[in-house]
Amino acid sequence: MSVKIRLGIIGGGGDSLIGILHRVASSMFDKYEISGGVFNPNFEDNMLFANKLGLNEDRVYKDFDTFIAEEIKLPIAKRIQVVSVLTPNFLHFPMVNALLQNGFHVICEKPMTTTYKEAKTLYATLQKAKTVFAVTYTYTGYPMVRQMREMILNGEIGNVQKIDAQYYQGWINPIIHDKEQRASTWRLNPEKSGISCCIGDIGTHAFNMLEYVSGVKIESILADLNHVYDDNPMDVDGTILLRASNNVKGVICASQIATGEENSFVVKVYGDKAGLKWEQENPNYLYLMEDGKPLQVLKPGHVYNSKLSLDGTKLPAGHPEGIFDSMGNIYKGIARAINKEPYNAGEFPTIIDGIRGMDFIRKAVASHKKQNVWVAIDEH
């Protein structure tokens, strides 16, 4: 009998952006097998796609409710154990809540929900369910991001004194300037996306990443957002000042109208001894900057890297690690948690990261609406 974890997938069909990342990531360390799911709300497309993946048709369900109803009838040894929820944002909460209530482990795409209230409800449900829950802030799985975290945790840059993340994309530029298109994409529809587009989609990555690598907790923020058009209900750009403990201050700049930019996510943390810089479009380089010394470039797979970083490197140094590897490392950590094996707290983002992300979104929007005032982030 297979010892792999039985994985179900909701959303992430052939027409989706993120589905392939999860499918490849789940296969990377031979820990999971995709056992079934609902890949598309249209049953014909759903089945066509499932056939392409070679899945057993009995486990491809017509909709989410049928998925749960049929799966829980199966003996535990056959039942899907963990479900990846890869649908548009507004479906995360009802689906994840029902999955947890029915005893499934869950891997949820970010942003975790569309409101903070939903995020808190999920937290309460999870306390009762006692299953494993992860939210996929994908970039935290990169070996050199993990190295950055470990070096800072070990005091290698001294006391953190400044944090800075810039996440620039340009993809919404043609959509935002077309009245019809900006009214029809789900990402600019608050009912489907939540109250924020840019900050909800990529600003949350930046917020989570800064806390992940620096160990600093952001305590309050001041946001200036841009909707570009008055008929557009959602931000597509924002600059957010940050205040954290120990007089650490910083900034998050996020944009989907940074024309020509692809996925330029740059993270910088400066301590009183050294600075570290990482760029998503060149993820195999971690730059170590020190006063009066030449720039050092650290790379994956070398003995000088931490155990957590090396755990995510599959081939000898010189074989670049990319976004698929990063998500693969997150899936690997989740598999350890499901199998009740020991794991490092840095291996996958948790419900607390999801809640803090949702609080960050609502506080950014509140700060902007109140004409750019400081707003506190709740303690979690």
Ligand X SMILES: NC(=O)c1ccc[n+]([C@@H]2O[C@H](COP(=O)([O-])OP(=O)(O)OC[C@H]3O[C@@H](n4cnc5c(N)ncnc54)[C@H](O)[C@@H]3O)[C@@H](O)[C@H]2O)c1
Residue 261 beta carbon to ligand X: minimum distance, rounded to whole angstroms: 15
Q: Which of 97, 1, 81, 76 is nearest to 37 (CA)?
A: 81
- Closer Cβ to ligand X, 17 or 77, answer by number: 17
- Closer Cβ to ligand X, 60 or 288, answer by number: 60
Q: Which of 359, 369, 365, 337 is nearest to 350 (CA)?
A: 337
- How would you class 127 by CB atoms within 10 Å of its CB: exposed for 0-12, middle for 13-18, buried for 19 or more? exposed
Residue 109 beta carbon to ligand X: minimum distance, rounded to whole angstroms: 4
Give the count of beta carbons closer than 10 Å to the beta carbon of residue 314: 15
- Closer Cβ to ligand X, 137 or 270, answer by number: 137
Residue 127 beta carbon to ligand X: minimum distance, rounded to whole angstroms: 24
Residue 292: which residues within 8 A CB-CB, separation 6 or more?
none
Residue 273 beta carbon to ligand X: minimum distance, rounded to whole angstroms: 32
- Closer Cβ to ligand X, 42 or 296, answer by number: 42
Contact residues toward ligand X (CB under 6 A) are 10-13, 15-18, 38-41, 64, 86-89, 91, 109-110, 136, 138, 201
Residue 99 beta carbon to ligand X: minimum distance, rounded to whole angstroms: 13
Provide the H-helix boundaries in the chain.
19-27, 43-53, 64-71, 92-101, 116-129, 143-153, 173-176, 179-184, 190-193, 198, 204-214, 307-311, 323-338, 351-369
Residue 27 beta carbon to ligand X: minimum distance, rounded to whole angstroms: 17
Residue 207 beta carbon to ligand X: minimum distance, rounded to whole angstroms: 14
- Closer Cβ to ligand X, 12 or 271, answer by number: 12
Ordered DSSP codes for 32-92 = EEEEEEE--SSHHHHHHHHHHHT--GGGB-SSHHHHHHHHTTS-TTTS--EEEEES-GGGH
What Rg, from alpha-carbon coordinates, does the chain have? 21
- Closer Cβ to ligand X, 201 or 311, answer by number: 201
Residue 16 beta carbon to ligand X: minimum distance, rounded to whole angstroms: 3
- Closer Cβ to ligand X, 23 or 299, answer by number: 23
- Closer Cβ to ligand X, 122 or 288, answer by number: 122
Residue 272: which residues within 8 A CB-CB, separation 6 or more?
157, 158, 159, 161
Cα–Cα distance between 237 and 256 in angstroms, integer?
Answer: 6
Cα–Cα distance between 352 and 51 in angstroms, integer?
Answer: 37
